[in-house]
Chain A
Amino acid sequence: MAHDTPTVTRTSAQHEYYKQNNKATMQKQVVNFAIMIFLTLVAFSLVGAGFSANLVLPIILLMAGVQVVLQLYSFMHMEEKTAHEIGVVTMFMWTGMFFAFLMILAFVTIIWWNL
């Protein structure tokens, strides 16, 4: 039976278009990646500098939140408004985060603080 590999042919205009597109995405990703590295460095140096834990902890948590959003929107393609069924994907992401938040809330309140 036939086992040919399908090949995709593109016109040169299409080719140019994709090339442009890829370049733009690449730039954006490199910038975001740099920001993420920077945030990580800040986090480590805050700890290294020996500031009080009451200051360092909230800042690190905040930056962790920023990192998550950056990760989702820049590397996991959630910013692509026109992407196929992006609404469903976004809905799933936020539902998942809501459940995770609920779990953390429950753990903190009924296991560790013992309300």
Chain B
Amino acid sequence: MSSSVKKKGFGATVWDYLTTVDHKKIAVMYLLGGTLFFVIAGLEAVLMRIQLMYPENDFVSAGTFNQLLTMHGTTMLFLAAMPLLFAFMNMIVPLQIGARDVAFPFLNSLGFWLFFLGGLFLHLSFFMGGAPDAGWTSYASLSLYSPGHGVDFYVLGLQVSGAGTLISGINFLVTIINMRAPGMTFMRMPLFTWTTFVTSALILFGFPPLTAGLILLLFDRMFSAKFFDVMYGGNTIIWEHLFWIFGHPEVYILVLPAFGLFSEIIPTFSRKRLFGYSSMVFATILIGFLGFMVWAHHMFTVGLGPTANAIFAVATMAIAVPTGMKVFNWLLTVWGGSIKVTTPMLYALGFIPSFVAGGVTGIMQATAPLDYQLHDSYFIVAHFHYVIVGGIVLGLLGSTHFYWPLFFNRMLNETLGKITFWIFFIGFHMTFFLQHFLGLMGMPRRVFTYMPDQGWDLFNFISTIGAFLMSAGVILLVLNVIITAIKGEPAGNDPWGDTRTLEWAIPQPIPFYNFRQTPLVRGLDPYWIEKQEGNKEGMVYAEPLGDIHMPNNSIVPFVMSLGLFIASFGALYSPLGVADDSRTWAIPVLVIGLVITFGSMIYRSLKDDHGYYVTVAEIEALEEELYGKKGGNK
């Protein structure tokens, strides 16, 4: 609504972002929030690596190390990688399918605020008696006995932010099913939209088991229920199952969108359509489906028995088939293309071998007998960082360069970008490659220190230097962003010159309603088709210019999330089960928080909000202001 208003005051801008339901602004908030948590978790990683630089180091204590370890893993996965991917999904998916917004703009904003306040709550634990320290998996046999409130922060924080994730996932499912422009059939959807779709389905099916597990853990810790307590007839293995039924799909929730991003970058800079589009779609769906049948490969050493281990081992190895299909399709897209090695393409080319290395060690771990050797050693740490950093983080960094002009109408500096890539890429392999061997030499994971002269000293030292290099890479990227913000020139649309999909056809800066007229999609890679046919405008339209229906901004999602944030403190300090009555204040806090949340839900249900119309005159005035003279057909 307000993008036509130039130069707003600080307060007005903050209010605008607190209330916005525009998917593009929510994308920017996800980008900022995700980056914040990425930097925090990265710092925790560096602190851990400094501690492990020398044997018997005393840089941090064992207890602090456990907290850093837990917060690093939890933050990276739930509060950095996922929100950053959500940033790209929010920005790109509606534009790619020709929609003016997501299906439920209100829920989109609610999802963001739940994620952010949940993450904030989790991080306040550092200042309120100590962070969770039972690992990101928080196995019940350990977490039940963790003193203090750390694990309670974990449970409540993840519960709140997990609700946000679930809401966003459902939103994307509905958006992709319902909001595609005319002609955008399922089999014409760009691969990033496809992977977002499958990822959202995984969120839909994967997060409820986590929610259930967290509730049980909450009851065990706060009300002395005995679901997981073996001493009272509970079963601690149930937590492990519930966690991994969620946990394995979670890794695909993260990596599939990264696959999607690379599937956009690679054809663009190979200047060739994606090889084997339909097999890519099929592989994506198959990976998503198989992702739910393999969770027990994290539990081979628990003692499930040979039959169960064999079934889960074979099922896990089966996933290599669709994943391999994808890798070959990327290679065949590059093969014979007219390749342009830009920064995003460099990241893509670096991703393929790195991810394959992580996949191969994954198959090794899927071999149950071998896993008895590898389990809980640094080999595992090396494996998952190869897929996570080599797959997801390279994808995020590459797409940051690729999509920056779409977000901000500016190009990041290419030379600096390439330097960043090399520093980060070398640092990444330096950190994690040698950890495979540390694992094979017997170094266990999740230890805060080790004895000298076991042959581990040098490799650990090199590994830490690699972590410094990676940090330098991230700092360079931040510098690049700052320089671009200060000096950048408007990039215009299609700044890369070879883009193929609808999002690049929109004039820059993108008006808040995205498309003045809903586009008509005439095939896969619609923008490419129009360019080939010499259509200067980049799209054809499915409707005449008319009034545009848009949703109203609302502060309610923020208030609703704030209520849960407040209620979480009440729940955390609940006086139940505490001997003295010094904590009775927690009850009103809990009640007030819940009243705020449910009150705003009731308000939202009772007050009809039908949105508003942007008239043709307003559209034309805005476009004249944004792009000068009028253009386009009517």
- Whether B235 lies near A4 (C-beta < 8 A) is no
- Indicate if A110 sits at the interface (CB-CB under 8 A): yes
Knowing A2-B615, A111-B235 are in contact, say whether A88-B305 is a contact too (CB < 8 A): no
- Which of B93-101, B150-158, B578-586, B606-614 is the interface stretch? B606-614
B177 within 8 A of A: yes
CB of B241 within 8 A of CB of A6, answer no
A99 CB → nearest B CB, Å = 5
State which residues 1-29 of A face B: CB under 8 Å. Answer: 1-6
Which of B177, B204, B289, B613 makes the CB contact (< 8 A) with A6? Answer: B613
Whether B633 is near chain A, meaning CB under 8 Å from some CB there, is no
**CB neighbours of A110 from chain B (8 A):** 296, 304-305, 308
- Chain B minimum-CB-distance residue to A7: B610
- Chain A residues with Cβ below 8 Å from B209 are 103
**A102-B293 in contact (CB<8A):** yes
| Residues of B with C-beta under 8 A to A111 | 235, 237-238, 241
Contact residue among A85, A92, A95, A106 (Cβ-Cβ distance under 8 Å from B241) = A106
Distance A110 CA – B235 CA, assembled complex (angstroms): 12
CB–CB B238/A1 < 8 A: no
Given contacts A6-B613, A111-B235, contact A103 B245 (CB under 8 A): yes
Q: Are B305 and A115 in contact (CB under 8 A)?
A: yes
Given the interface pairs A2-B614, A6-B549, A107-B241, the reply to whether A96 lies near B304 with Cβ below 8 Å is no
Indicate if the CB atoms of B305 and A114 lie closer than 8 Å.
yes
Please give, as numbers and ranges, the residues of chain B lying within 8 Å of A81 by CB-CB distance.
Answer: none
A3–B612 Cα distance when bound, in Å, is: 5
Query: How many residues of B sit at the interface, in one of the four size bands?
Result: 20 to 34
Q: Which residues of A contact B610 (CB under 8 A)?
A: 5-6
Which residue of chain A has the shortest Cβ distance to B201 in the bound complex? A92
Contacts across chains A and B counted by CB atoms under 8 Å:
55
* A99–B615 CB distance below 8 A: no
Please determine whether B205 and A95 come into contact, CB atoms closer than 8 angstroms. yes
Q: Which of B289, B305, B608, B613 contacts A4 (CB 8 A)?
A: B613
- For B237, list chain A residues within 8 Å (CB): 111
Q: Hey, which chain B residues are within 8 Å of A114, CB to CB?
A: 305
- Distance to closest chain B CB from A80 (angstroms): 15
Interface residue B532 (Cβ < 8 Å from any Cβ of A) = no
A6 to B549, CA, bound (A): 9
A84 to B289, CA, bound (A): 24
Tell me if B307 and A115 are in contact (CB < 8 A).
yes
Chain B residues with CB under 8 Å of A99's CB are 205, 292
| Smallest Cβ-Cβ distance to B289: which chain A residue | A95
Q: Which residues of chain B have C-beta atoms less than 8 A from A106's C-beta?
A: 241, 296
Interface mask (B12-56 → A, CB under 8 Å = 1, otherwise 0)? 000000000000000000000000000000000000000000000
**With a CB–CB cut-off of 8 A, which chain A residues contact B245?**
103
Q: Which residues of A contact B307 (CB under 8 A)?
A: 115
Residue B318 interfacial (CB < 8 Å): no
A115 CA / B552 CA spacing, docked (Å):
57
In the complex formed, the residue of A with least CB distance to B308 is A110
Closest Cβ neighbor of A114 among chain B residues? B305
Residue from B178, B552, B611 within 8 A of A85 (CB atoms): B178
B1: CB under 8 A from chain A? yes
Per-residue 0/1 for A85-101: is the Cβ within 8 Å of any B Cβ (1 yes, 0 no)?
Answer: 10010001001100100
Q: Closest CB-CB distance, A8 to chain B, in whole Å? A: 10
Interface check B537, CB cutoff 8 A = no
CA distance A92 to B304 in the complex (A): 30
B1: chain A residues within 8 A (beta carbon): 1
A102, B549: Cα distance in complex, Å: 44
Who on chain B is nearest to A111 by CB? B237
Interface positions of B from 170 to 186, Cβ below 8 Å from A: 173, 177-178
With a cutoff of 8 Å between Cβ atoms, the chain B residues found around residue A2 in the complex are: 612-615, 618
**CB-based nearest A residue for B549:** A6
Contact B308 A84 (CB under 8 A): no
Contacts of B205 in A (CB 8 A): 95-96, 99
Q: Smallest Cβ distance from B288 to chain A, in angstroms? A: 10
Chain A residue numbers with a CB within 8 Å of B178 are 84-85
Nearest CB on A from B622, distance (A): 10
In whole angstroms, how far apart are the Cα atoms of A34 and B241 in the complex? 38
User: How far is B173's CA from A91's CA once the two chains are assembled, in angstroms?
Assistant: 13
Residues in chain B near residue A102, CB distance under 8 A: 292-293
CB pair A4–B612 under 8 Å, yes or no, is: yes
Q: How far is the CB of B558 from chain A (nearest CB, A)?
A: 21
Most chain A beta-carbon contacts within 10 A, residue among B304, B608, B615: B304
Residue numbers in B under 8 Å from A4 (CB-CB): 612-613
In whole angstroms, what is the CA distance A111 to B245 when docked?
14
Whether A85 touches B177, Cβ cut-off 8 Å, given contacts A2-B612, A92-B201, A111-B235, is: yes
Q: Tell me, rounded to whole Å, the shortest Cβ–Cβ distance linking B190 to chain A.
A: 18
Contacts of A88 in B (CB 8 A): 177
| A-side contacts of B177, CB under 8 Å | 85, 88
- Chain B residue at minimum C-beta to C-beta distance from A8: B610
- CA of A3 to CA of B610 in the docked complex: distance in angstroms? 9
CA–CA, A103 to B614, complex, Å? Answer: 49
Tell me the bound Cα distance from A44 to B245 in angstroms.
34
Query: Bound complex: CA of A99 vs CA of B293, how far in Å?
Result: 8
A-B pairs, 5 with minimum CB distance: A3-B612, A110-B308, A5-B610, A99-B292, A85-B177
| New A-B contacts (11) at CB < 8 Å, excluding given A1-B612, A85-B177, A99-B292 | A1-B614, A6-B549, A84-B178, A95-B201, A96-B204, A99-B205, A102-B293, A107-B241, A109-B308, A111-B241, A115-B308
- The chain B residues found within 8 Å of chain A, CB to CB, are 1, 173, 177-178, 201, 204-205, 209, 235, 237-238, 241, 245, 289, 292-293, 296, 304-305, 307-308, 549, 552, 608, 610-615, 618
Sample (26) of A-B pairs whose CB atoms are under 8 Å apart: A1-B618, A2-B612, A2-B614, A2-B615, A2-B618, A5-B608, A6-B549, A6-B610, A6-B611, A6-B613, A84-B178, A85-B178, A95-B201, A95-B205, A95-B289, A96-B205, A102-B292, A103-B241, A103-B245, A106-B241, A106-B296, A107-B238, A111-B237, A111-B238, A111-B241, A115-B305
